[in-house]
Amino acid sequence: MSPLLSISIVFTLVVYAIAMLLALWRVLRGPSAQDRVLALDFIYIVGMLLILVIGIRYASSTYFEAALLIALFGFVSSAAMAKFLLRGEVIE
Partner 1 sequence: MESELPFWTELAVASLLVLSALFCLSAALGLVRLKTFFQRMHPPALASTGSSWCVTLASIIYFSELNGELHLHVWLIIILLSITVPVTAMLLGRAALFRGRQAGNHTLPPALHPKSMPPEFEKEDTKRS
Give the interface size with partner 1 as a residue count (CB under 8 A). 49
Among 20, 13, 14, 21, smallest CA distance to 56 is for 13
**CB distance 90 to 84 below 8 Å:** yes
CB of 84 to partner 1, least distance (A): 8
Work out whether 54 is an interface residue with partner 1 (CB under 8 A).
no
Show the beta-strand stretches assigned E in the chain. Answer: none
**CB distance 53 to 16 below 8 Å:** yes
Work out whether 33 is an interface residue with partner 1 (CB under 8 A).
yes
Q: How far apart are CA 18 and CA 28, in angstroms?
A: 15
Under the rule (CB under 8 A), what is the footprint of partner 1? 1-2, 4-5, 7-9, 11-12, 15-16, 18-20, 22-23, 25-26, 32-35, 37-39, 41-42, 45-46, 48-49, 52-53, 55-56, 59, 61, 64, 67-68, 71-72, 75, 78-79, 82-83, 85-86
